[in-house]
Amino acid sequence: MYILGISAFYHDSAAALLRDGEIVAAAQEERFSRKKHDPRFPKNAIAYCLREAGIVLPEVARVAFYDKPLLKFERMIETYLGYAPRGFVAFAQALPVWIKEKLFLKSLLKRELARLANIDPSEVPPLLFTEHHQAHAASAFFASPFQRAGVLCMDGVGEWATTSVWLGDGNRLYPQWQLDFPHSLGMLYSAFTYYAGFKVNSGEYKLMGLAPYGEPRYVDLIYSRLLDLKEDGTFRLALEYFDYPSGTKMTSWRFEELFGGPPRQPEAPITQREMDLAASIQKVTEEIVLRLARTVRRELDTQYLCLAGGVALNCVANGLLLRQGIFRDIWIQPAAGDAGGAVGAALSAYHEYELAPRLPSEGDRMKGALLGPSFTSAEVAEALDQFNARYERFDDDSKMLRRVAELLAAGKVIGWFSGRMEFGPRALGARSILGDPRNPKMQSVMNLKIKFRESFRPFAPAVKLERVSDYFVLDRPSPYMLLVAPVREELRTPLSEEYDKLFGIEKLNFPRSTIPAVTHVDYSARVQTVDRSTNPRFYELLSHFEELTGCPVLVNTSFNVRGEPIVCTPQDAYRCFMRTEMDYLAIENFLLSKAEQPVTAQDDSWRSQFELD
Catalytic residues: 11
CB atoms within 10 A of CB 513: 22
The answer to whether residues 544 and 518 touch, using CB atoms and an 8 Å cutoff, is: no
**CA atoms of 406 and 78, how far apart (whole Å):** 61
Specify whether the CB–CB gap between 254 and 241 falls below 8 A. Answer: yes
Q: Where are the alpha helices (DSSP H) in 84-184?
A: 88-100, 105-117, 132-141
Q: Nearest to residue 49, comparing CAs of 14, 81, 74?
A: 14
Q: Which residues of 451-466 are buried (b: 16+ CB within 10 A; e: fewer)?
A: beebebbbbbbbbbbe
* Burial label, 100 (beta-carbon count in 10 A; 0-12, 13-18, 19+): exposed
Q: How far apart are CA 502 and CA 511, in angstroms?
A: 14
Q: Percentages helix, strand, coil for the chain, rounded to the nearest 5?
A: 40, 20, 40
In whole angstroms, give the CA distance from residue 94 to residue 157: 16
- DSSP code per residue over 224-249: IIIEEE-TTS-EEE-GGGB-TTTSSS
**β-strand partners of 462:** 528, 554
Give start and end residues of each alpha helix (H) in 118-184.
Answer: 132-141
Identify the CA nearest to 526 among candidates 310, 293, 314. Answer: 314
Q: Does the bond joining 85 to the residue before it have cis omega, within 30 degrees of 0? A: yes
3-state secondary structure of 586: strand
Pairwise CA distance, residues 304 & 331, whole Å: 8
CB 152 within 8 A of CB 307: yes
Helix or strand run (H / E) with residue 379: helix 377-386
Contact 462, 525 (CB under 8 A): no
CB atoms near residue 410 (< 10 Å)? 10
Q: In b/e form, how buried is each residue of 265-288, taking b as 16+ CB within 10 angstroms?
A: eeeeebeebbbbbbbbbbbbbbbb
Q: Find the helix packing angle between 536-549 and 397-409, rounded to 10°.
A: 50
Residues 6+ apart with CB under 8 A from 416: 404, 429, 431, 432, 433, 434, 538, 541, 559, 586
DSSP letter for 123, please.
Answer: G
